[in-house]
Amino acid sequence: MRGDGVYKKQIAIGFALFLIYWVALPIALITIGGYLNSDQISESLKAFGSVLGWIGFVFGMISASYALIDGGGVAFCCPPKKVLRCGTYSMCRHPMYCGFILFLNGLALKYGNLGSLELSIAFSIFLIIFAITYEERKTMKKFPDYSEYKREVFAFIPKFPKIDDRCPPLLFQLLFYVGHIISWFSWHIKFEKDCEIPEGGYMIVANHVTYLDFAVVVYVLSRFVSFPISFFHYERNKWLYKLVGSFPIKRHKPDTRAIIKIISYIRKGGRIGIFPEAERSWDGRYLGTKEGFDKLAQRVPKPIVAMRLERAHLLYPRWGRKFLPGDVFVKVRCFDNFEEAEEFLKDPSVDPNDIYPSYEGVERYVYRCPGCGNYHSVESNKKGFRCRKCGYEVEKPTVGELWKIHDDNYKSLELPFTEEAEIIDEYGRSTGERVVVTMSDEEIRYNGKILKRCDVKSFITEGSKEVFFYDGEKMIGFKFKSALLWSDLVAKFWKMEV
């Protein structure tokens, strides 16, 4: 069954129930109450009712969001698939009812009369009795651990919430809904699940083709997923990544602290999303799994949930300048070992015969003219590219044709190679210093300094222009016209994993 169809059905049910319970029902109770007792409420109580109503509405909506994102439940319809303990559910056992009761009585105070208030209070008492007697008894039969939760948290009296990094932060929830709204007008994500996604902790692995892959993963699962972020990006926007539940990981050396956190997080019931390639693909072809990831995958609970993202690369390639609308397809499978998941992910995410909607920025990929062999002489446009030196022009090349151009360029690379660059710090920030960088078989020279090949422990690329050499003590960063060109040089002549 196509998952996106089920998902749209859930959205429709949730919206319909919202209209029934949060709009139609309060209006009906206030209207009926007016016929029972039309005595007016004082102005001071009306003002209090307005504040009470807003508090209840916000509290209820946040609770409904936790029920959906953390437990997969839709309010008043489909119960969560586990005992919820996050956010408002760490404050009281029935936060949605609590919010609704505050909202209902606040509305009765603001817009109703004594009859409306009396009827709202009576209905509130009914909800409390219903929740404690019928609903809790039903929940305890389904979830044995609910009894423990019941001892820890009051039913309707809120207490200070617990902080748990496995719970979706509020900013994450806001971006979750904003992203869904945007997706209706930009990327139309169609997905298909061929396995039962577990409710406990698990690792999600996916091919990495765009900056927005994390949003696609979250969209498909409709759950909170924490993603390790390259410390290069994390340190520049630390406040944002903390508020969406992400944490840093170092790509240039083994990061034991981050690895321990990942394993512990999953074993405690959290969800971690990881891209085994560690960087975005340049052309939709799988870059290969980074060394050591298979050992991490062996130590986490199974199954491993694998997601294969198709056609997203066409809409927002790494070398591209624009985010374009279109259809994105996602296939979801579950595997008991990473080797099978890797086989599922490693095929190209695009067809060689596909055409890009726009070729603007492709000079970062086609860094050498196929006609005259000059570096950085290619100028891109929406329909293709042209060499400003020899006039060589290609219009609407297929994905496969671009692969061949790049692979031919890779084969023709020679040393020594010299190019002008800007020096950047370890976080990618500009230093304003421009240098001439020369790479040979055994060293890199720049600004009177020498970086020997034997001293380089690792090499990484960030974005489409930034590259870093790590010498075991510090990161040495350069901003070139194309990071892919230097990635190819290091892979071909220094035989280093990139």
Confidence tier at 320 by pLDDT (50, 70, 90):
very high
Cβ-based neighbours of 168, under 8 Å, separated by 6 or more: 65, 66, 69, 70, 86, 87, 176, 224, 245
Domain containing residue 369: 362-412
Asked if residue 356 belongs to a domain, the reply is no
pLDDT in tens, 69-106: 887 776 666 677 788 888 899 999 999 999 999 999 99
Other beta carbons within 10 angstroms of residue 23's beta carbon come to 10
Does the structure show a pLDDT above 70 at 7? no
Whether residue 28 is contained in a domain is answered as yes
pTM attached to this predicted model: 0.86
Whether the pLDDT of residue 239 is over 60: the answer is: yes
Question: Last residue of some domain: 122, 152, 182?
Answer: 152
Band (185; pLDDT cuts 50, 70, 90): confident
The pLDDT of residue 34 is 80
The whole-number average pLDDT for the span 1-28 is 74
Highest mean pLDDT: which range of 29-43, 269-283, 286-300: 269-283
SS3 264: helix
Does residue 393 share a domain with residue 278?
no
Same domain? 391 vs 338: no
Handedness of CA 167, 168, 170, 171 (dihedral sign): positive
Count of residues in the chain: 498
Q: How far apart are CA 106 and CA 117, in angstroms?
A: 9
Q: Give the pairing type, strands 187-193 and 443-446.
A: unpaired
Q: What's the whole-number average pLDDT of the chain?
A: 89
Separation CA 436–CA 450 (nearest Å) = 12
382 and 320 share one domain: no
Question: What is the per-residue pLDDT across 23-51, written as a single tens digit (0 to 9) for each?
Answer: 898 889 888 888 887 778 888 888 899 99
Picking from 82, 99, 72, the residue whose alpha carbon sits closest to that of residue 10 is 72
Pairing of strands 443-446, 326-335: unpaired
Decide if 96 is inside a domain: yes
Q: 471 in helix, strand or coil?
A: coil
What pLDDT is stored for residue 1 in this prediction? 41
The SS3 of residue 128 is helix
DSSP-derived pairing of the beta strands 378-381 and 228-230: unpaired
Residue 467: which of 448, 439, 441 has the closest Cα? 439
* 498 DSSP assignment: -
Predicted confidence band at 165 (pLDDT cuts at 50, 70, 90)? confident
Other C-beta atoms within 10 Å of 427: how many? Answer: 14
- The pLDDT tens digits of the residues spanning 191-228 come to 888 888 888 899 999 999 998 899 899 988 888 999 99
Residue 305 pLDDT: 96
| Partners of 188 in beta bridges | 327
Shared domain check, 337 and 244: yes
- Note whether 232 and 130 are same-domain residues: no
Do 243 and 218 reside in the same domain of the chain?
yes
Q: 338 with 377, same domain? A: no
Which of 251, 255, 325 has its CA nearest to residue 290?
Answer: 251
Asked if residue 4 has pLDDT above 60, the reply is no
Does residue 309 share a domain with residue 174? yes
Residue with tokens 């209090």, as numbered in its chain: 48
Q: What integer is the mean pLDDT of 312-316?
A: 95
In the predicted model, is pLDDT for residue 257 greater than 60?
Answer: yes
Q: What is the pLDDT of residue 251?
A: 84
Question: Would you state the structure tokens that stand for residue 42, as one six-digit string?
Answer: 């004082």
**Nearest 5°: phi and psi at 258?**
-70, -40
Are 385 and 470 in the same domain? no
What residue spans of 184-336 are helical by DSSP H?
213-221, 231-234, 238-243, 256-267, 293-298, 312-315
- Of the listed ranges 204-218, 231-245, 309-323, 359-373, the least confidently predicted one is 231-245
User: What's the pLDDT at 8?
Assistant: 66
What are the φ and ψ backbone dihedral angles of 44, each rounded to 5 degrees?
A: -65, -40
Which residues have a Cβ under 8 Å from the Cβ of 305 and sit 6 or more positions away? Answer: 195, 197, 198, 202, 203, 204, 205, 221, 332, 333, 334
Beta partners for residue 307, in sequence order: 206, 332
- Give the total number of structural domains in the chain: 4
CB contact at 8 A, 63 and 18 = no
Is residue 326 situated within a structural domain?
A: yes
Is 463 within the bounds of a domain? Answer: yes
CB within 8 A of 263, min separation 6: which ones?
Answer: 296, 299, 300
Residues 272 and 389 in one domain: no
Do 215 and 226 meet the contact criterion of CB atoms below 8 Å apart? no
Rounded distance between C-alpha atoms, residue 371 and residue 365, angstroms: 15
The fraction of the chain above a pLDDT of 90, given in percent, is 54
CA–CA distance, 104 with 276 (Å, rounded to integer): 49
pLDDT band at 399 (very low <50, low <70, confident <90, very high): very high
Residue 462: other Cβ atoms inside 10 A: 20
- Is residue 402 included in any domain, yes or no? yes
Task: Indicate if 426 and 388 belong to the same structural domain.
Answer: no
Per DSSP, 120 falls in state: H
Range with the lowest mean pLDDT among 71-80, 123-132, 187-196, 452-461?
A: 71-80
Q: Is residue 165 part of a domain?
A: no
Tell me whether residue 246 is in a domain.
yes
| Same domain membership, residue 489 and residue 445 | yes
Q: Which helix (H) or strand (E) holds 305?
A: strand 304-310
Query: What pLDDT band is residue 171 in, cutting at 50, 70 and 90?
Result: confident
Q: Is there a contact between 345 and 207 (Cβ–Cβ < 8 Å)?
A: yes
